[in-house]
């Protein structure tokens, strides 16, 4: 194509993605009602009707997070924006932050602390294991000046779930605020922000909420907001500075901050309505139910889970790639011949594990059969 040409030399066809069964680490399949909601007409982000929908979104998210926190809303941006917003607002230069790392996303938290000018104290845990609460207790005893504890509730890179209630309690006993990553857990396994006493919790739209990627639900306790308001230095990110975002999402005023991704918000509204109609407990038990069926099938195929049973996430099943089998060849055949997408291993687990997700609307019986049938054929 000529670099300065204003018309393409050949007609470019409309893009039609192939049908896929999304059984990886997210995004997950969309419910037809969410698809329909996304395709509605655009209206202005300050239109009173839109503003009414925003209030409903906050109410629905409070239910999903099990919190009464007034400051609960979806940020415009993927889960990484949720993560970064929590760190850039809560961590001030010089703050000591204890970060628990048992996979890729704990590692990103450390990066966020350092980029925010904080000092990270790392509690290391073996990948595939939940964080040992005693290690957090020991770290906080050794660092009584720590201000914040951060951990990933559901580590998507391994499929391990940590005991968020206990980790938040230990943090509180040592006078620390908590930053909790609930990206993969929200809607799939219990996330109980108020019961845990979590201070800043973020998630993402494309996993167990089954919406399109690009929105990050967040919720902040009063103590977290107080810490942000008491900052001596400006938040270094203009876009993520909570005190500014609140001009748009806050309770009392609605002024322009950025142009909200309206259609994605319609989709999230419908996805959250579906969750409320099903009921959180029912959604959690649906994920568990299909996980058990998948687990039985995967084990029958001779595949081994990398996470001990008690800490396994139902929505993220990481199994070892059998000796002598090529990871990529199998995943490619699953996608090309069976339209099934599963996830690869990340970091040190690259090439060594497959991650089979059953998230949100993807957690259905027919998908368990699709995954097992396809794997059986490809592996035989």
- Give the residue ranges of the annotated binding site: 355
Spatial separation of the C-alpha atoms in residues 227 and 90, rounded to whole Å: 6
Q: CB 146: neighbour CB atoms within 10 A? A: 20
Which residues are known binding-site members for substrate? Answer: 355
Q: Which stretch binds ligand PLP (CB under 6 A): 78-86, 110-118, 129-137, 172-180?
A: 78-86
**118 versus 217: smaller Cβ distance to ligand PLP:** 217
Closest approach of Cβ 189 to ligand PLP, in Å? 13
Q: Does 79 bind ligand PLP (CB under 6 A)?
A: yes
**Total of residues contacting ligand PLP (CB under 6 A):** 14
CA-based radius of gyration for the chain: 21
Can you read off the two tokens belonging to residue 3?
């670099």
Nearest 5 degrees, angle CA 116-CA 118-CA 119? Answer: 145
Among 213, 237, 288, 327, binds ligand PLP (CB under 6 A): 213
Closest approach of Cβ 159 to ligand PLP, in Å? 11
List, as one string, the DSSP characters of 314-357.
Answer: TTEEEEEPPTT--HHHHHHHHHHHH-EE-EEP-GGGTTTEEEEE
Q: Which stretch binds ligand PLP (CB under 6 A): 129-137, 179-187, 281-289, 363-371?
A: 179-187
Write out the E strands in 146-295.
148-152, 154-155, 160-161, 177-181, 200-202, 215-220
262-278 vs 48-65: helix axis angle to the nearest 10? 40
Residues 32-61, interacting with ligand PLP (CB under 6 A): none
Closest approach of Cβ 216 to ligand PLP, in Å? 7
Q: Does 171 bind ligand PLP (CB under 6 A)?
A: no
Among 33, 50, 66, 80, binds ligand PLP (CB under 6 A): 80
Q: Does 345 bind ligand PLP (CB under 6 A)?
A: no
Spatial separation of the C-alpha atoms in residues 161 and 152, rounded to whole Å: 8
Closest approach of Cβ 82 to ligand PLP, in Å? 7
User: Closest by alpha carbon to 185, among 24, 359, 2?
Assistant: 359
Closest approach of Cβ 206 to ligand PLP, in Å? 6
Closest approach of Cβ 22 to ligand PLP, in Å? 13
Q: Under the rule (CB under 6 A), what is the footprint of ligand PLP?
A: 25-26, 78-80, 83, 105, 152, 156, 181, 183-184, 204, 213
């Amino acid at each position: 194509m000529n670099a300065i040409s204003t018309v393409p030399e050949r007609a470019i066809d409309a893009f039609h993605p192939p049908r896929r069964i999304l059984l990886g680490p997210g995004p997950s399949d969309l419910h037809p009602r969410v698809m329909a909601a996304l395709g509605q007409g655009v209206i202005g982000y300050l239109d009173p009707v839109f503003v009414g929908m925003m209030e409903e979104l906050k109410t629905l998210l409070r239910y999903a997070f099990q919190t009464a926190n007034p400051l609960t809303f979806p940020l415009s941006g993927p889960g990484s924006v949720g993560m970064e917003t929590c760190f850039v607002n809560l961590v001030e230069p010089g703050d000591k932050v204890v970060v628990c790392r048992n996979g890729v996303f704990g590692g990103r938290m450390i990066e966020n602390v350092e980029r925010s000018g904080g000092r990270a104290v790392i509690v290391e845990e073996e990948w595939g294991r939940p964080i040992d609460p005693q290690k957090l207790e020991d770290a906080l005893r050794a660092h009584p000046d720590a201000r914040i504890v951060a951990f990933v509730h559901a580590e998507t890179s391994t499929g391990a779930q940590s005991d968020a209630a206990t980790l938040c309690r230990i943090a509180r006993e040592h006078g620390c605020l908590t930053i909790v990553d609930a990206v993969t857990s929200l809607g799939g396994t219990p996330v109980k922000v108020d019961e845990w006493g979590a201070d800043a919790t973020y998630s993402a739209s494309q996993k167990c909420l089954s919406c399109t990627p690009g929105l990050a639900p967040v919720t902040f306790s009063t103590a977290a907001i107080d810490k942000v308001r008491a900052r001596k230095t400006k938040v270094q990110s203009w876009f993520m500075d909570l005190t500014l975002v609140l001009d748009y999402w806050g309770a009392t005023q609605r002024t322009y901050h950025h142009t909200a991704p309206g259609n994605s918000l319609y989709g999230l509204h419908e996805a959250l309505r579906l969750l409320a109609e099903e009921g959180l407990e029912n959604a959690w038990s649906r994920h568990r139910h299909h996980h058990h069926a998948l687990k039985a099938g995967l084990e029958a195929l001779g595949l081994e889970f990398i996470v001990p049973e008690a800490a396994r996430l139902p929505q993220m099943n990481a199994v070892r790639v059998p000796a002598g089998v090529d990871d990529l060849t199998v995943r490619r055949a699953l996608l090309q011949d069976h339209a099934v997408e599963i996830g690869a291993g990340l970091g040190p687990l690259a090439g060594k594990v497959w991650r089979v997700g059953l998230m949100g609307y993807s957690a259905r019986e027919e998908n368990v059969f699709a995954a097992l049938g396809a794997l059986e054929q490809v592996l035989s």
